[in-house]
Chains A and B, each alone.
Chain A
């Protein structure tokens, strides 16, 4: 992975806690340091997800919950769900995150992306009541472990995509939000162009190729 040498190290993340952090013991403080080191190596939230997947780590899950559950609820509210339904669906989504944690592949998706797909499917069930067949899945489990360098670059690309979206002109960004949160007809979606997806697509393509090779 020569090109990795050219990439700047991950920036210090500014993440305002949504839930006030309680006092932590020394052991927990140690754990937090471990997590932030792992974050630097793997990208945000990946270490918590893997800890849930591999050890059923409830503390790691609580961190994921504090960050993602309110965002899932906001996503559902914006999609037209009422308060009680949004709360219930967000809880469903987080329970699914726990149960399906082993299917999360950090060389193909950021944690936010993976949780988005679960939240979207829950929203379709709850609000549109339409069936949404899923593609045949590729096998994924504890083995084969994805390459750390692949994980890191995919996580970095996800972050860059977020930054690029934030820099889009307001009306374009609003249209994209409407496509993902609201109801935008197919014809209206066709008007959305110029999303900077080339690099992240290449990364995912590479991860898929490696999975295919591991299958044979």
Chain B
């Protein structure tokens, strides 16, 4: 049962196509796990549809080139027929959009230790925001940190708790600038999260701060 969802601004930004790549990734991954947010997203898409229906430029209605339809029909006739795809999602830990970035499930991640038994794997995205997987052993904590921007954390396996609440599989925490938190993985199962931020994290301990440039977080 997912209790922590995406907010309207993220859903609308994703629907409108205005988010950085790393944010697109976490939104797409959460929606793969959460039909409630999928329905909300598709209702924002319906806003786009309504705007498309009335789309004109400042100078009025737009016309296509004269032979436009003929050109498109010619292209359609040349293209090979699309294979009919039957999608049965395989039972994987990571939803499809995330698997594409990792190259598989958790074992395919390029993990690096960041201290306290916590590991991370940075995912390749455009630089305007960053995405990484976090592996927090059961019962361990991610170093206390605040952020300059927005940090989103999506639980893929296990659960963590912080000052705000408990976050289980599929839950997403939306942490803004003013939240300083210490996520602690629940005992019993190691916790794997996808974390995305639009600004570098700020660690409060001296050592993590010195390491920050090297850890790329």
Give the interface of A toward B (CB within 8 A): 18, 58, 61-62, 65-66, 68-75, 77-78, 86-87, 90-91, 94-95, 98-100, 102, 108-110, 112-117, 119-121, 123-124, 128, 130-139, 141, 157-158, 161-162, 165-166, 176-177, 179-181, 183-186, 189-190, 192-193, 195, 197, 200-202, 204-205, 208-209, 212, 215
Contact = CB atoms under 8 A, between A and B. Distances in A.
Contacts, number: 221
A119 B24 contact: no
B73 to A, nearest CB: 7
| A75, A135, A138 interface centre (most CB from chain B within 10 Å) | A135
Contacts of B57: 74, 77-78
B50 A161 contact: yes
B88 to A, nearest CB: 7
Interface of B: 7-10, 12-13, 15-21, 24-25, 28-29, 31-32, 35-36, 38-57, 61-65, 68-69, 71-73, 75-76, 79, 82, 84, 86-89, 95-98, 100-101, 125-126, 150, 198
A179 B84 contact: no
Nearest to A100: B82
20 contacts: A68-B52, A71-B52, A74-B57, A74-B61, A78-B57, A91-B72, A95-B75, A95-B79, A99-B79, A109-B42, A109-B45, A112-B50, A124-B17, A132-B21, A161-B46, A161-B50, A165-B50, A184-B16, A189-B16, A190-B9
